[in-house]
Amino acid sequence: MPTPNSLDAFWMPFTPNRAFKADPRMVVRAEGMHYYAPDGRAILDATAGLWCVAAGHCRTRIVEAIRAAAGELDYATNFNLGSPSAFEFANRLGEILPDQLDRIFFTNSGSESADTALKIALAYQKARGKPGKYRLIGRERGYHGTNFGGISVGGIVRNRMTYGPMVAGVDHLPHTLDIARNAFSRGEPPHGVEFGDALERLVQLHDASTIAAVIVEPVAGSTGVIVPPKGYLKRLRELCTKHDILLIYDEVITGFGRLGAPFAADYFGVKPDILTMAKAITNAAVPMGAVACSREIYETILANSETPIELFHGYTTSGHPLACAAGLATLDVYRDERLFERAAELAPYWEDAMHSLRDAPHVIDIRNLGLIGGIELEPRAGAPMQRGLEVFRACFDAGVLIRVTGDILAFSPPLIIEKAQIDLIAETVRTALKQVA
Ligand SMILES: Cc1ncc(COP(=O)(O)O)c(C=O)c1O
């Protein structure tokens, strides 16, 4: 174990650094459904890392592909120079993305994907002769990463309040969590389609001629698992189409089988104009993100460009050879092991396991869809977030890694999970809930 001092230099992201470094939790190895602590203890991963290791940890095919790529072409810019794996990976992604949503821009993370998507939306409106359509509409409680575009359209106050006035011209839809009407809904909650009508009000306020795009997570994860009410996404799509506004889905957590379909767009049967990805795109073995755009958007921007470079945007490591190799191998694993179908088959069992905790102490709501689960706890009086943190710690000590956002427990296991492991997660959480005050 490193001495406490040796933990000082690394400024850990989204972590209470002082508390963590006083009482660290470390993992040193991972395989399949498990992490391993320095003392060899196995910890069942009920979070797929951070919603990203969909095929399970250290999958041999992915590891081997990365190794081979690293020895063949360690790096090449994709600025005005091509490397074959980036083209191949874009083509392969296009094969599983919804129809016509197959023009792919590579990034390195979900945050970069969100900002890239917003910039492409603005570039498209300008290219089609509507530069006055500049407003970006996000949603309360939305999470689109931590860059300035993402936090501007995002709606998590702690992520925004420190960083000044944000990107101009942004407004927000209301979030759709409605525990009073929808507590303990299985799957899509029945009430709340009318939350989508708030877009109509924003159009009345700002006029559609000033609005470029709406961005939402089809299922919000980071803010505590918010499943869209029945018909909500369809309503948003209809209003976007009616008012000539682009619809962007942030599929950073819902992409690649999490709901039992390739993308949430497939699961809900409602297609966006732009779709962001990251995390499971490479099984998180190499950082990568991507933005899928409709052909119409891509072709409009290319056809109307006043300069040889059509989009002044990109990253040094956009389409990095190691990431593309990892991504190609990951898609092979998803296909050959039918992991998206497997998630769909397991979803009812998962739903039952999550809802079996309805009578456990402190539970005020349970939400689920696909292989996602959220359990909302009543906050302890005078100490919000404390109970959630204690449940997290109790589960970890008992050998199960869950995720906690405030007093909401979030679950997103790898799609290779077995039924017995689902049972173990539910039992461990029940025991932890009984232990905490
Ligand atoms: C919907 C959504 N968008 C964007 C992000 C940001 O991704 P990253 O942490 O890779 O920047 C996340 C991360 O959880 C996310 O859930």
Q: What is the CATH number of the domain that holds 223?
A: 3.40.640.10
Q: Which two tokens stand for residue 320?
A: 């990095």
Nearest to 265 by CA among 280, 253, 277, 249: 249
160 and 74, same domain (yes or no): yes
Nearest atom, ligand 1, residue 251 CA: 1
The last residue of one of the domains, among 336, 361, 396, is 336
CA–centroid distance, 304 to ligand 1, in Å, is 31
Looking at the structure of the chain, the number of domains it has is 2
C-alpha distances in Å from residue 314, one per residue of 120, 274, 318: 11, 17, 7
Cα–Cα separations (whole angstroms), residue 427 to 159, 210, 392, 395: 33, 52, 14, 10
Same domain, 253 and 296: yes
Q: How far is CA 389 from CA 154, 187, 403, in A?
A: 24, 26, 9
Q: Is the CB of 108 under 6 A from ligand 1?
A: no
CA atoms within 13 A on the CB side of 342: 17
Can you give the residue range of the structural domain that contains 214? Answer: 63-336
Closest ligand 1 atom to Cα of 289: 10
Share of the chain above pLDDT 90, in %: 99
- Digit-coded pLDDT (tens) for 69-128: 999 999 999 999 999 999 999 999 999 999 999 999 999 999 999 999 999 999 999 999
- Ligand 1 atom closest to residue 110's alpha carbon, by position in its atom list: 7
Best CA proximity match to 291, nearest among 302, 281, 306: 281
Tell me the pLDDT band of 5, cut-offs 50, 70 and 90: low
Residue 233 is which amino acid? L
Could you tell me the pTM of the whole model?
A: 0.98
329 and 342 part of one domain: no
* Pocket lining: 114 vs ligand 1, CB cutoff 6 Å: yes
Strand 135-139 versus strand 170-173 pairing type = parallel
Q: Which residues of 360-399 are buried (b: 16+ CB within 10 A; e: fewer)?
A: bebbebbbbbbbbbbbbbebbeeeeeebbbbbbbbbbebe
Ligand 1 site, residue 221, Cβ cutoff 6 A? yes
Q: Are residues 171 and 153 in the same domain?
A: yes
Q: Give ∠ CA 184-235-365 in degrees, rounded to 5.
A: 10
Cα distance between the two ends of the chain? 31
Long-range contacts of 240-244 (CB under 8 A, 24+ apart): 240/199, 240/214, 240/273, 243/199, 243/203, 243/208, 243/211, 244/133, 244/208
- CA 378 to chain CA centroid, Å, is 25
Same structural domain, 278 and 379: no
Q: Domain ends where: 285, 303, 336?
A: 336
Residues 72 and 94 in one domain: yes
pLDDT at 282: 98
Are residue 125 and residue 252 in the same domain, yes or no?
Answer: yes
Q: Which CATH number goes with the domain that contains 394?
A: 3.90.1150.10
**Contact by Cβ (8 Å): 24, 8:** no
The pLDDT of residue 50 is above 90? yes
pLDDT in tens, 253-299: 999 999 999 999 999 999 999 999 999 999 999 999 999 999 999 99
d(CA 342, CA 140): 32
Q: Do 371 and 307 share a structural domain?
A: no
CA 111 – ligand 1 centroid, Å: 6
Strands (E), 174-223: 211-216
